[in-house]
Structure 1
């Protein structure tokens, strides 16, 4: 596996490239142009400026997360073709910086949903928390206010997207899951030929959480959904970002089985742990298997058995030692997570070597 670390860019992240460089085994940063609203072209000049910063610290920019999909594409509006053309230009421009994987999602309105960005755990650390009954009964505008109050830009919760929230909810009243599938297929059939030309793998991220929120349709949320998604095209650019935390919030999802089944189509892996409660709540924990409900040890074993050579990053971490950081994206717990993942990987490597003797 190739270890990476998500970085939000100079002036937009509490973590620096110099700090990331000190984490063992990290080869690249997962990046994006977070100042660009969904639908706009990522210019070559902006892309190459990020490459210059990464090059100075010895990092590759193989993985982009995310070139956001404009809401009109998800809704299937007549204006979608214009935004798809912009997306194609952005793909060609990130390819010039060496991009090999573009992670994206097709979640309506909200890219991810949590009710508390700094919920305290027993040890005094804090983490992202989802309270099911609260989401089931709250006004979306209340959630918006909570989520955008951290002081950092929040991908998936951009101001230009949220100012259209009432219109967006109204528009999705006429879009069910089947229509969303149709709109996703339309997008893919337009994008995949360009991705193939540029040798880029388009890797969709599962819905987070993997169920409907505020009655919005969600479609990438289970093994059967992933099977349907991958059947849309046999293009080598048609791939998956497998996120153990997103899918793992539903205890019915068997993540190790999905890895063993879809390993050859997984271009990018997010590995994180969540603790699930009987009432439907969940909270993000350390990456250590025993701390949550997701079998991180078996997940890494499944990747190791598959000879996985794709990109991996530690996903959301806790906020430790009073670190002032972007919610879920501090330095310390993600660095600890990397060392736990490497420890598991190295143990499986050693096990294989002993078995071969």
Structure 2
């Protein structure tokens, strides 16, 4: 079975992990984006070429664009939606003119990925990203003060919220708020007031409305994608369930099958993120690949460990609740049926060894991802030759 292509996420010239580091780690290509540009702004050919040339000068190839952010005006289908759709189409045309035709994106409302701790200490001394329902409930009930929030938490969580709140220092409360409101570490966060406004707006839109807005987005860019040979890969919700009253549309196999059926054209594809989907106890990832695997065009590989309450931390890539051996075996079989190999990247990694004393983007330190890439490469090659 042919191998997948090893890639590495790079946030650009300000990333603490350099392109030289990435090449030494053994990645063949780079996953990058123009994070310095505001959401909704057109990516010019000049900006794209500048980033591409930097990557190529380091002996690497820019293989995946992650991501061209979808502006909130598109997700909510606001009155100025058409402006941002035209900007998005212009960015896609400019990317294609520079030879970039594989794009990863998400349609999560307001926030990107959500955690409650960016540096939980593991028994071996490394640090990992962590999501705790009790901490989220503290933020939701006492910082955000969302009306009716109690109904979104289990009795088990609610029983422990007061105890968790009373044990939090003012510093930890402020840190928790900053973490939840952050979204992507390289992009501007939002305020509590902005989040409250968005929650009210999305309450009116609902899950079906968000689905409809996604279909409108995909149909609006479809002609450009088909003319330019662009493949759009949708990233799952992270975590894969509704939080803070915001709807989710990419959390389970039924959601993924809806995406495929609603926009059946080949330019509509899936980014299969094992960490995001794996955080849902209802998701069987190898079985999901049996049903939607032929529409997977990009892969994020990481692992999680969950407890009985549904809290989870990001574990070692080969040691968690996700059966990474079975997932990789399925991916290799899917890959063998394709004319071009699927790129994958080691998604997130522990902060460990020398990186413990460095400032890094949360989840994106060098050594933890180097370890993950080495493990995943070994697993892939072992299965390929078995």
Cα contact 1:271–1:314 (8 A) shared by 2: yes
Q: Secondary structure at the residue paired with 1:230?
A: helix
How far apart are 1:292 and its partner, in Å?
Answer: 1.3
Once the two structures are superposed, the pairs formed by residues 303-318 of structure 1 within 5 Å of their partners are 303-308=331-336, 309-318=341-350
Give the Cα separation in 2 of the matches to 1:162 and 1:80: 24
1:50-76 deviation per Cα after TM superposition (whole angstroms, max 9, x unaligned): 011011012221201111111111112
Give the Cα separation in 2 of the matches to 1:171 and 1:148: 17
* TM-score, length of structure 2 as denominator length: 0.85
Give the Cα separation in 2 of the matches to 1:221 and 1:166: 23
Once the two structures are superposed, the pairs formed by residues 70-81 of structure 1 within 5 Å of their partners are 70-81=71-82
Q: Secondary structure at the residue paired with 1:3?
A: strand
Match of 2:279 among 232, 238, 249: 249
Paired position in structure 2 for 1:2: 5
Once the two structures are superposed, the pairs formed by residues 23-172 of structure 1 within 5 Å of their partners are 23-24=25-26, 26-139=27-140, 143-146=176-179, 154-155=185-186, 158-159=188-189, 164-172=194-202
Give the Cα separation in 2 of the matches to 1:226 and 1:89: 27
Once the two structures are superposed, the pairs formed by residues 212-251 of structure 1 within 5 Å of their partners are 212-251=242-281
Paired position in structure 1 for 2:23: 21
RMSD: 1.9
Moved more, 322-331 or 201-210: 322-331
How far apart are 1:33 and its partner, in Å?
Answer: 0.6
Give the Cα separation in 2 of the matches to 1:226 and 1:316: 23
Paired position in structure 2 for 1:202: 232
Moved more, 55-64 or 240-249: 55-64
Change (3 A) 1:276 1:159: closer
Structure with more contact order per residue of length (Cα contacts < 8 Å, sep ≥ 6): 2
Q: Secondary structure at the residue paired with 1:124?
A: coil
Give the Cα separation in 2 of the matches to 1:94 and 1:184: 21
Match of 2:211 among 181, 194, 197: 181
Which protein is richer in helix relative to its size? 2
Cα contact 1:61–1:98 (8 A) shared by 2: no
Paired position in structure 2 for 1:262: 292
Number of aligned positions between the proteins: 344
Provide structure 2 residue ranges, at least 5 long, that are not aligned to the other structure: 145-173
Match of 2:330 among 299, 302, 308: 302
1:107-162 deviation per Cα after TM superposition (whole angstroms, max 9, x unaligned): 0011110000011111110011000122133146654423578xx9715x524787
Give the Cα separation in 2 of the matches to 1:272 and 1:127: 12
Moved more, 53-62 or 64-73: 53-62
Give the Cα separation in 2 of the matches to 1:160 and 1:278: 31
Cα contact 1:64–1:99 (8 A) shared by 2: yes
Provide structure 1 residue ranges, at least 5 long, that are not aligned to the other structure: 352-357
Match of 1:283 among 297, 301, 313: 313
Please identify the structure whose Cα radius of gyration is greater. 2
